[in-house]
Chains A and B, each alone.
Chain A
Amino acid sequence: MIKKIDEVINENVNGLHYGRRLLLPFVADILKIVIDDDILTDFNFEKSRADYNKEEYFTEINFMDYDNLQTVVSEFEQIKMIVVEEGENIFDFSTHRKIGLQVLDDHKIIIKEVDEDIPFIE
């Protein structure tokens, strides 16, 4: 069943990670990802360093530069991204959500809105 981003955050629905692959339990367009000190904005091109696919119930991201996401992001860090929910107007800045992902053991991803105190520039 498709879930909205708000539902995922409020209900603490987790995402998944397998090696370099990340699965988010909502469908969204991704505008920017910050992982480690990499800022990724090019997706779905042959030579891009990450690509994402919107599936029926989830969004899948593959990071080409990393073999295992868990070794890249420390316990105090997050993968941060700007996403726009499927169906929203991507050109309206108020629809841009700042999402932070914590990479945990057992393939689990915790999804939260990025805390206001954390520097993250769109």
Chain B
Amino acid sequence: MKIIKTLSLLLLLLTAASLEIKAETIPAEITPAAVSETAGEHELPSAIMVLPFIILLGMIATGPLFYHHFWEKNYPKIAIVLGLITASYYLFSLGDTHVLLHTGAEYISFIALLASLFVASGSILIKVDKKSTPMLNTGLLLFGSVIANVIGTTGASMLLIRPFIMINRDRIKAYHVIFFIFMVSNIGGALTPIGDPPLFLGFLRGVSFFWFVEHIWYIWLPTILLVAVIFYFLDSKDKSGSDTEKEYTGKIEIKGLKNLFYLGAILIAVFIDPAVMPWVPSLAPLPFGIREIIQLSIVYLAYKTADREILKDNEFDFEPIKEVAYLFVGIFATMIPALQLIAHEAKVFGESLDAGIFYWSTGLLSGFLDNAPTFLNFFSAEMGKFSLDVNKVEDVRIFQDLHPLYLQAISVAAVFFGAMTYIGNGPNFMVKSICERAGIKMPSFFAYMVKYSIPILIPIFTVVWLVFYFGKG
């Protein structure tokens, strides 16, 4: 229940901060996008203030490897203290409460969606009594990649990671999980605004719901198939566990179906936003809306009404979401200066940036920063290049119709490159944690990149760049 206490505390702090802001200075709706709105109106932060973010990233990477005991005990304090350093700088040195409020709103939105999907899907048990084969595994990863567009990468990851482990219990290796993270937790969710948070933020700014599937499917399909083929090849070469004599019934059993109702409610709640449905009341100056209230209520309801036996079978624990909640409160706070500086630079050099540069910049930063605000800042910079305003829906519509290449480049990059590190996207960390609880030794932060994401994904993403963006725009 510590997580609930933490969230309550955070809500109180943010509410208190928000009350200091004069009502007329608050945008009608509090969306993460407003971070970039306000960024330009305030003094830029000192470059030295990127340091807490670099320290936090460095510690996330090295802590579990070199000072595990200290890290396990102290990571919540470290994340909060580093976050507070940045928050204090904005509060007392720059006098900028807007950006803190908007980042707080963005964090609450992020954690409400993640936590609700985590709890609702954690009470669903899928049993697949089939023999592990490369074909079955590849099929499951492809299935996960498709449904990630319906229930989000988080929902799909939480729903499928345990059956994926169980199917492969006699032969599972780290590469199985890594490809699961690549496909289901990231690349898969590039087709709809529900799939991944950056696209959802684009949708909230005015991009049509079906714009993404219409303009991304022909990049998504070959990419996902290429990753699937590589996985199939690797899995076919791995003969371990193939000598098992166990008999399989071929049955697929699903328990806890009532939780599909909660999953549905979470997804419907995603659209309950004043930007999408004008009749929805804004709760400004509070840093959350009706959507977050519904999603956090579902966290409580889904947990309280869950079948205890299913929770036991799933070994349900709040620890993975708690870990994400703590680490990302630090990441969200400390990355504010980095994002503002990036947004500033992108606007200064916007004229000389083509779609390829936007693709690589958004992608590489999305691997290490949260991909949602990264996307928004580059979205704003791209539109600025064409003298359009990201805060005007009509301008966004013009931009999506006249310059689809640019919007496509940052959408693809923000989602795909989330697979580059454990911190690139929320579900990555949760999948890692669930696998470690199942006894699967996962690679370290560096090993993940050096052994898997750099050699496998960077060549694929380079091909995407060469085919779709090189010398264009």
Contact = CB atoms under 8 A, between A and B. Distances in A.
Q: Do A and B bind each other?
A: yes
Interface in A47-70: 49, 64-65
A78 B315 contact: yes
Interface in A33-50: 34, 36-39, 49
B162 A37 contact: no
A36 to B, nearest CB: 7
A110 B69 CA distance: 27
A2 interface: no
A119 B438 contact: yes
Interface in A1-29: none
Contacts of B316: 74, 76-77
A117 B68 contact: no
A65 B69 contact: yes
Main secondary structure of the interface of A (DSSP, over half): loop
Interface in B389-440: 433, 436-440
Contacts of B127: 117
B113 interface: no
B59 interface: no
Given A37-B433, A65-B69, A80-B439, A117 B319 contact: no
Contacts of A32: 439
14 contacts: A34-B437, A34-B439, A38-B436, A39-B441, A74-B318, A77-B317, A78-B315, A118-B315, A119-B169, A120-B439, A121-B438, A121-B439, A121-B440, A122-B439
B291 to A, nearest CB: 28
A34 B437 CA distance: 6
A36 B69 contact: no
B165 interface: yes
B68 A49 contact: yes
A34 B172 CA distance: 16
A107 to B, nearest CB: 22
Contacts of B318: 74
Contacts of A117: 125, 127, 166, 313
A119 B166 contact: yes
Given A117-B125, A119-B169, A39 B315 contact: no
Nearest to A74: B317
